[in-house]
Amino acid sequence: MPEAAPDLSIGQVAERTGLSVHTLRFYEHEGILAGPVRRGPGGRRLYTESDVEWLRLCVILRASGMPLPAIRQYTDLVRQGSGTEAERLALLRRHREHVIAQIGELTRCLDLITFKVGVYEDHLGAEGCGDRLGPGPAEHVCGVP
């Protein structure tokens, strides 16, 4: 008979997910966890590997800019089980479009920054100009705002 996976403490889950203990408690309070957190002797929280995997998904969704209410909505749909797949898909598609737009904006920002780095590298490499680049109006001597 296979051995049951050991329960994990809140500290172990914090270490494995990169979330603070405070955030884990907050997520539990906000209904972000897919299932209820079990309690051990003395009321200590006991987590499972499934909890850790769910939290890793939530970390990625948050890092990609998904607001907590949307994560909570997704969690609620998952809890409801079969029959909510179309709603989950729609929610994730909307978020994917948001992430694609973010990537586009960040790409435009990176392009401008890369251009400006090139401008400064060119000017610093120009003879006699590099020593005049600095704060204030002297920057404009070399044509670099």
The rounded distance, in Å, linking the Cα atoms of 33 and 75 is 7
Give the pLDDT score at 129. 53
pLDDT of residue 140: 46
For residue 5, give Cα distances in angstroms to 8, 46, 48, 92: 9, 12, 7, 31
Parts of the chain with a pLDDT under 70 = 1-4, 127-145
pLDDT of 70 reads 97
Calpha distance 18→13 (Å, rounded): 8
Q: What is the predicted pLDDT for the residue at 91?
A: 98
pTM of the model: 0.75
Task: Return the CATH number of 1-81, one of 1.10.1660.10, 3.80.30.20, 3.40.50.2300, 1.10.3720.10.
Answer: 1.10.1660.10
The pLDDT of residue 1:
54
Task: Tell me how far apart the alpha carbons of residues 131 and 138 are, in angstroms, rounded to a whole number.
Answer: 10
